[in-house]
Amino acid sequence: MSSFMLTAMLVLFAASIPVAVAIGIAAVIGVANFTNFPLIVAAQQLYVALDRFPLAAIPFFILAGNLMDVGGISRRLVDFAKSIVGGIQGGLPATCIVTCMIFAAISGSSVATTFAIGAVMIPALIKAGYPVPFAAALMATAAELGVIIPPSIPMILYGVTTQTSIPELFMAGFGPGILIGGALIATVLIWCRITGWGKNDGEGRLSVLTATKQAGFALFMPFVVLGGIYGGITTPTEASVIAVIYAVLVGMFLHREITLRDLYPIFKKSVISSAVIMFIIACAGLFSWLLNRQGVPDAAAELIVHTFDSPTWYLLGVNAFLFVVGMFVETSASIIVLAPILAEAAERMGINQVHFGTVMVVNLAMGMITPPFGVNLFAAAQVAGTSIDRMMRYLPIFIAVIFACLMVITYVPAIVMFLPDLVFR
């Protein structure tokens, strides 16, 4: 049954059927033709896949990101980041990356980061003389940090799927996020030196004091959200609700950029985005349930353990495999379907689950900036008014930088585990 379901899913992918629908159809075919269960079981398992309290954090973090975009928080974060790094040659691209790092500590979503920060940064980069495709490619790449620096929706999914501590996963994301952000900043600064771009990037820059005052409420938000989680005061789900309340209060009553009329389109956009992710989770959950009934995770774990004779080779093989998967399959679906199989094999080899989950999320995040289905590419191209084909001139360098960071994260576990060990051990 499992081989037939996988084949059916791949055929549907090739036919350009949406990922969630393809997974759901393949699973329903499996229930109807290879089990004795009535089809109502499929509906039951779709519900069971969503009946997990931590998943409630996803729509709230998405809503918080959209509220911050409309409420002026993203624009103030850009001004703050520019006041710090915008005064040097290449400072504007560096500002884009730093802003994404800060916004990532609030939103949990790379697509939300692309739209929220891209709406401010892409026009600014173009106005400063940077090529449109470069601005779009940089924005798409920097926004990937939205799912690496906590809170992170993919990390929530990994934690729920593999029963791994979500607070530990969140804490583990800081090291890789700072490493990747720093590497990208170094890359754009060197690039601008070579090309001669960005010599006037300091124009219009606010003083650090002024920018900090304007962005004060925005900068305090990560402390409210993450401080509650790590202080043991709130769960990640409760923190996501606090993020929404905070964004509403700041946007409506402090910045006064959100009106009652704005709330309906904000909520509508958030509901649509959340529904897409939840539908993927439900269909992937049904698919995973059938695979588990067939013993596929155990069999695959046994095969992997006997194929790779050391954790070093296993991690290399998993990274190569996930890089290819991430190019074609949406991140949430990949985690829900593959995490139970790969994590079980990793555990048998003595690989820490928090470390492995972080490696998996960082790797699959690259799928957001690799054709043909990189969601960040489509979002950035839409904001910039360019095509993905034109962005491909600049993307390979950014992808190479992130892949190099991934190898460091994979084989230097201390980068991932330093903070979790410090806080939770």
pLDDT digit string (tens) for 22-72?
A: 888 888 888 888 788 888 888 898 888 888 777 787 788 778 878 887 888
Q: Is 301 a residue whose pLDDT tops 70? A: no
Q: Is 118 a residue whose pLDDT tops 90? A: no
Question: What would the mean pLDDT of 102-122 be, rounded to a whole number?
Answer: 78
CB neighbours (10 Å) of residue 359? 26
pLDDT computed for residue 356 by the predictor: 96
Q: How would residue 264 be classed by pLDDT, with cut points 50, 70 and 90?
A: very high
pLDDT computed for residue 268 by the predictor: 92
pLDDT computed for residue 297 by the predictor: 62
First to last CA, the chain: 43
Weakest mean pLDDT among 132-141, 166-175, 327-336: 327-336
Q: How would residue 117 be classed by pLDDT, with cut points 50, 70 and 90?
A: confident
pLDDT computed for residue 184 by the predictor: 95
Q: Are 46 and 286 in contact (CB under 8 A)?
A: yes
Q: What is the pLDDT of residues 243-252, one digit of tens each?
A: 889 889 988 9
Q: How would residue 372 be classed by pLDDT, with cut points 50, 70 and 90?
A: low
Q: How would residue 408 be classed by pLDDT, with cut points 50, 70 and 90?
A: very high
Question: What would the mean pLDDT of 249-274 be, rounded to a whole number?
Answer: 88
Q: How would residue 85 be classed by pLDDT, with cut points 50, 70 and 90?
A: confident
pLDDT computed for residue 377 by the predictor: 84
Q: How would residue 404 be classed by pLDDT, with cut points 50, 70 and 90?
A: very high
Listed residue (192, 196, 195) closest to 93, CA to CA: 192
Percent of the chain with pLDDT over 90: 24
Question: What would the mean pLDDT of 146-162 be, rounded to a whole number?
Answer: 88
pTM for the whole structure: 0.79
pLDDT computed for residue 373 by the predictor: 66
CA-CA distance, 327 to 319, in Å (whole number)? Answer: 13
Q: Is 78 a residue whose pLDDT tops 90? A: no
Q: Are 143 and 107 in contact (CB under 8 A)?
A: no
Q: What is the pLDDT of residues 189-223, one digit of tens each?
A: 999 999 888 888 777 778 888 888 888 888 888 78
Amino acid at 336: I
pLDDT computed for residue 293 by the predictor: 77
Task: Find which of 144-153, 284-293, 411-420 is predicted with most confidence, using mean pLDDT.
Answer: 411-420
Q: What does pLDDT average to over the chain?
A: 85
Q: Are 54 and 166 in contact (CB under 8 A)?
A: yes
**Burial class of residue 34, CB neighbours in 10 A (0-12, 13-18, 19+):** middle
pLDDT computed for residue 371 by the predictor: 74
Listed residue (85, 74, 99) closest to 214, CA to CA: 74
pLDDT computed for residue 409 by the predictor: 96
Question: What would the mean pLDDT of 217-245 be, rounded to a whole number?
Answer: 82
Q: Are 291 and 6 in contact (CB under 8 A)?
A: no
Task: Find which of 54-68, 87-101, 318-332 is predicted with most confidence, using mean pLDDT.
Answer: 87-101
Which runs of consecutive H residues, i.e. helices, occur in 35-152?
A: 40-50, 57-70, 73-85, 91-107, 110-127, 132-143
Q: Is 232 a residue whose pLDDT tops 70? A: yes
Longest dimension (CA), the chain: 69
Question: What would the mean pLDDT of 303-314 be, rounded to a whole number?
Answer: 81
Q: How would residue 397 be classed by pLDDT, with cut points 50, 70 and 90?
A: very high
Q: Is 137 a residue whose pLDDT tops 80? A: yes
Cα–chain center distance at 420: 20
Q: Is 185 a residue whose pLDDT tops 80? A: yes
